[in-house]
Structures are given as C-alpha cells and as structure tokens.
Amino acid sequence: MRDPLYWLSVKYKLALGFVGLCTLAFGVGGYLMSNSARDALQGEILQRLEFQSQAYAADLHASLELLKRRSEDFASDGYIRDHLARLVTASDGDARAQLATDLHRHLRVNKLPLEDAFIDLAVVSAVGEVAVAVEDASSAAIVQLARWSVLQDESRSSNALASAGGVPFLVITTPVYGLRSGEPIGRLLAKVRARAWVSLALQSQRLGRDRAVQGVGLRLHDSQDRVLLIPSEFLHAAELPSAAARSESGPFRLVTGEEFNASGIAGEQGDGILRQEFPIGSSGWSAEVTIKPDLMMEALSGLQSEFLLVGVILACFSALLLFFPLRFLARPLMQLREAALRIREGDFSPRVEVRSGDEVGDLAESFNLMAGAVEARTHALEQTATDLRHRQNELLTERDRLDRVISTMQDGLVVLNPNGEVELSNHAAGPLLEMLQQMEADEVVSHHPCQSPGRDGEQDCRHCLAHPDRAARSCTLDYRDRVIDVHATPLPAGSDGRRGRILVGRDVTDRVSREEGEVHQERLAVLGEVAAVMAHELNNPLASICLFNQMLGARLPDDSELQENVEVINRNAETCKKVIGELLGYSGATAPEIGPVDLHETLQDVARFLRPLAERNGVQVLCTLEAGHSVVHGDEVQLRQIFVNLVVNAIQAAEGDAQVELCSDDQDGMLVVQVCDSGPGIPAPAREQIFRPFYTTKARGEGTGLGLSTARRLAELHGGGLELIRSGPRGTIFQVRLRAMQRAAGE
C-alpha cells in the first residue's frame, strides 16, 4: 500500500504521528479505560453478589439442617413411636380413637410449642395415611404430602414452597422407627414457616453478607417455579426479629414464576439489575441475590470527556515541543535503515558514519558495534552448528546400540521420570508395566513387604519401588499367577533436583514354585515322622484301655449303672483310634500300591459300600458314569479313600429326602469325576478354609477336619487335583481330576 503522506517529510510525519498518538491514548484510550473500569466494577459487583448468594445459600442450608435435626429429635420420641406402632396395629375403633387423641395432645402440647418455626406436626403411617395432625389432617395438600413422605429414605425437605392462609411454608419429613424392630413404621411431617427459616439463617454474621449495602435483595426459588419474596428492610435491619416476630407471616410473599415476571420485579441485566443465584444444598431451592448498580457507576459517568480533553491539550504541547528537534533525525535514521536492510540480506560489512555526539550519534555507534558483534557471532554459530551435527550423529549411534541391548534383555526394564511416567521400556517389561498400571489394585500383593504403610494399614512395597525419592530396594511381588522380583534404583538428579527411577523385573514364578514344593514335601515328611511316633506311642495305651474296658464290661451285670461308663470309654477310645488312623493316612505313612484301576468299578463299589449309611439318612446315591475310558494309574485303596470321604460328606450334608450323584467325563486327557449333592451348601466364610488340615464345620466329636485335606493330597499325588466347583442353597459340587491311562492301539 502506498503511503498517503509520501510528499511529507519524515520529521513532520513523526510530529503528526505523536500528536495523533496522544489524542488516541487519552481520547479513545480513556474511553476504553472507562468502559473497562465500568466492566471491571460490574464484574466485581457480580463476584460480590455470587459470594453473597453462596453465603446466603450456606446459611439457609445450615438453618434447614438444624430444623431437620429438630424434626429427627421429635421423631425419636418414644411416646410418638410407641403410639404410632400401636395405632397402626390396633383393630378396635375405640382404641384407635383414644390412641389418636393421646398422640394429638402430645404433639400439640409437648412438641409443637418447642419450635417456633413449626406451624403444624403430623404423623403418617407406613402406607402414606395421615394418622394424627395437630392442625390439618384431611386437606388434599396434607394427603399428597403424606404419600410423598413415605417414598423418602431419610429426613428430607420438600423441594417446593407452599402457602397456607398467606403464610409461606415448607415441609420436612422424618422417618419414625420402631422401638424394637429398628425399621421405619411411619413418617413425621413438620410444616416450617419460611419466615422463621430465613430469620434463623440470617442470625449468622457470615463474611460477605453486608447488611449496610442498600439496594440488595434476596429471593428464594423452588423446583416448582415459585418465588419467595423477602423484603429488603428485613435484610438490612440492624437487629434480626425476635422469635415471636419470626412466627408471624410478615411481608413475606410467595408468587408463581409467571406472577413474578409479570410484576416487573425481575428485570434482566440490561434493565439495570444485576443478579447471582446459588443452589441451597440438595433441597431443590436456590438463593438469588440482586442489586441496582446505578449509584456505584456514577463516578465513571464523566471520565470519558475528561480523558479526551487532557489528550487534546497534551497533543498540542507535544507538537510544539517536538517540531524542531525532529527535523534533525530524518537523515541519520534513513542511513540506519539502509544499513539494517543490507545486514538482513547477509552483508555484515556496512557501517554508519557517526557525525554527532548526541543520542543519534550514540545510536549510530551502537549500531556499528552491533553489526560487528553479529558478524562475529554468526561465524561462531556456524562452527557450533557443525560440531553439533557431528555430536548428534554420535549420539544417534549410541542410542541405537543401547536400544538394541535393552530390547534383547531377558529381564524387564522400565525407566520412570520424576513424575512417575514411563519414559523407556523393553518387550520383556510387559508384566512389570501392567503391574505398575494396577498399582492400586488388590490383586498386586507384596511377597516380602517393606516398611512403608500401604492401603488399609497393610505393608506394601509397590509405592516404594515407584517412588522417585526412595533409596534403592528390591521386592518380590505376586501379580495374578506370576511372581516378579523387582529391583528399583534411583537415577541421578536432573537440573531441577528431581530424580527418575529405573526398575528391573525378573519373573521368578518357576523358582518360587519349586521352593514352595520342596518346603511342602519337607513339611509332609516331618508330619509323617510325627504321625508315626504318635501312632506308636498312643496305640499301645489305647489297646490296653480297650482291653481292660472290655474285661470290665464282661464282668459287670447287664443292668449295672456302670455299663454306660464302659460304653463312653469304648466310644472315646474308638474316636482316638480313628483320629490316629486319619493322621497316619494324611501323612502318607503307608506306601501306595500303584497299578491300573478301573475308576467306574471303584465308584460303584463306593456307592454300594455307603448305601446303608445313605438309606439311614434318607439320601439316594446315584451313579452317572459317562467317561469313555475309566482306567487310571494309581493306588485303588487311596482312590477309594478320596471318594469315600467326599460321598460321606455329601450324604451328611444332603440328609433327609435328597440325593448324591457321582458323574464322570473325559476332559483333555483327564478323567473328571464330580460329586454333587442337593444339600444346603457350605457357608461362604468356610469355603476358603475347607481344605485346610483340621478345619471342620461339623460338631465337636463328629469330624477331625482331615477328610478333604487328605483327599486333595491323594488326588495331587496321582497327578490330578480336587477343587470346589460350586456351593449354594441348591447343593454343592466337588470335582476330582485324575490322569487317565493312555489307550492301547486298537482300543
């Protein structure tokens, strides 16, 4: 674009430009500043209104909660709860009338006068019928409120305001619990004067609610688009009204949303009214604070004209003062401009001739120094760029070598930045990364916890491993079905003083499994030795006890009173023999005789063997044997012991007109046998402990707690396992897995 003042010298352009700048700065700028000040003041007023509306809403919410607690105190009165319970269950009409009369008198005399804010109390039954009310017991409004109250779970206030006789009120419903059952038997309805509620809230001298500010108004909106108008003289009163005055209706007025808008009270911001609204807790109401800001804006009304006048005067004086000095700046500035253009094009040789000792001369000399420095710095930057390119190539080579080493590592490697974010990881670090992402999950368990407190007061070293400021430490973590040995080391601190962290994880699941197996075998060996010693030391005394007890019983007459003692001694001795035998069986003291065993024949034999016990308990034992190949490799006696224990437990659990079913099937080279009963099931707390030795749910003297643990150990010795599939009210299913023998060719 061509300069419209190309014919005018630069010195005049500068002068005119400065004059115009002053005019704009103090004229237009002043106008914009005044508008900005007006907007800022209006924003401050709105912010103040928002803070004040929040203060009103908080106080109103606190007042409402106080009234709710007062209603809860009334509802907990034993007299009210007792009479309501008797009134609901009474069948005699006269008795019901007398109970209602007594309860009405109690509410009217002993409860309603205790709270000035309450204008009526009503007791509602659990089905939503008004049992007793002090003032209003039959109007459509109280019937509707009674039906609404029984749908509430706790103490609540109605989300709508209402008016009775010109007195705005709200309703609080509170459950009434039975004296013995602890269950709700009805509700207590309390009508609350809106004026008393607001007065109680305004007693708080909260910061942000200034009573001295005139023109501030407060209105309450409910969820039914109704508005409670609170007069301004009530808000700006030096002293709040007394309790007696609060009980009166006063100038409080409840109008609908249409009446409120049509009355002209609710103007928009363009009409000169500023407003802010804030919800009152979760009650469904909101507090709206309004103000007319006309008086606050009067100070800004003449500010624009003053700024414009000052700008014009300053522009005139500036033009007179700068006219002559500017005429000596044009040529030196042009020379500077031409030299600067040549430097921009890459020619660093031009210099400006210095002809004066004033600021222009200093500027020219500074320009020459700058040009020389730029030329020297440019050559230095070119050399530095060359060195940086060589260094970058070296770093890229080192990075590729390091990436290759990390990617081929068998152990997982994770590098965390000071914020705990992953910066580097290799392929083997997949389980470690997944474990870090599940840092708060319950399935991540410290195998050897450190001393840092974890969740729920437990010791948990996961946070220590990932924390950037902790020292180097190692920990073993159980994650799902894997065991990971993690070593964490802090990285050197960076320029900001913060440290990163490097984690190295190794999967040691197989090693831990081997170690646990060795420990388990060692414990079994020790248990076998202890069981053998106990059997040797206890069998001889038990044999002597049984022998002498039999001799004593043979010598006593049949009608002797001591025969019962003989039977008790004999029964307890047999129990001791049984415990010793099961302990020897659990420890594996007897050497198994391994050979082919037809499991179907064994199961049918077990069913025949236990049929008398089943018939005595009213249980039917069924066999559904569908496996195609039923031969397994093992000890028939030990296999029979597994299923005898399971079937006996099932018969005892399904006692009385029930059945126990033995089912077999083939699954992936394994012979699977399920023992199903129709009993009541195993209690949930006991399901995790039923396989623990010496744990039993039977009565004292009826079981040793070794049956299921022995059965599981024998199944595992045969290359299989025993597990609980399902247990519930419709029965329990145990499943035994045994490795089937390979079929010969042609079978």
pLDDT tens-digit readout, 521-549: 666 666 666 766 666 667 778 777 888 88
> Are residues 235 and 153 both part of a single domain?
yes
Residue identified by tokens 């911001």 is 269
> Are residues 576 and 618 both part of a single domain?
no
The average pLDDT across 736-741 equals 86
pTM score of the predicted model: 0.40
**CA distances for 190 relative to 109, 136, 175, 195, angstroms:** 15, 11, 12, 15
How confident is the model at residue 282, as a pLDDT? 80
Query: Mind listing the pLDDT tens digit for each residue in 6-46?
Result: 666 665 666 677 667 666 666 666 667 767 777 777 777 77
Q: Is the predicted pLDDT of residue 367 greater than 80, yes or no?
A: yes
Q: Is the predicted pLDDT of residue 443 greater than 60, yes or no?
A: no
Residue of higher predicted confidence among 581 and 337: 337
Q: Is the predicted pLDDT of residue 605 greater than 80, yes or no?
A: yes
> Are residues 100 and 124 both part of a single domain?
yes
- Residue 583's domain spans which residues? 510-590
Inter-residue long-range contacts of 742-747, CB under 8 Å, 24+ positions, other chains counted: 743/629, 747/629
> Are residues 567 and 599 both part of a single domain?
no
Q: Is the predicted pLDDT of residue 129 greater than 80, yes or no?
A: yes
Residue of higher predicted confidence among 103 and 449: 103
> Are residues 110 and 154 both part of a single domain?
yes
> Are residues 457 and 492 both part of a single domain?
yes
Query: Residue 578 is part of a domain; what is its CATH number?
Result: 1.10.287
Q: How far apart are CA 45 and CA 276, in angstroms?
A: 10
- Cα atoms in the Cβ-side hemisphere of radius 13 Å centred on 573: 18
How confident is the model at residue 243, as a pLDDT? 46
> Are residues 500 and 600 both part of a single domain?
no
Query: Mind listing the pLDDT tens digit for each residue in 454-475?
Result: 444 444 566 677 777 778 888 8
Considering Cα of 570, then 575, then 578, then 580, what sign does the dihedral take?
negative
> Are residues 724 and 584 both part of a single domain?
no
- Domain contains 278: yes
Query: Residue 452 is part of a domain; what is its CATH number?
Result: 3.30.450
Q: Which of 174, 159, 160, 57 is nearest to 115 (CA)?
A: 174
Q: How far apart are CA 747 and CA 460, in angstroms?
A: 57
The average pLDDT across 339-344 equals 84
- Domain contains 400: no
For 106, the token pair is 């109690």
How confident is the model at residue 528, as a pLDDT? 64
Residue of higher predicted confidence among 610 and 292: 610
- Residue 207's pLDDT band (cuts 50, 70, 90): very low
> Are residues 417 and 497 both part of a single domain?
yes
> Are residues 612 and 586 both part of a single domain?
no
How confident is the model at residue 308, as a pLDDT? 64
β-strand partners of 162: 169
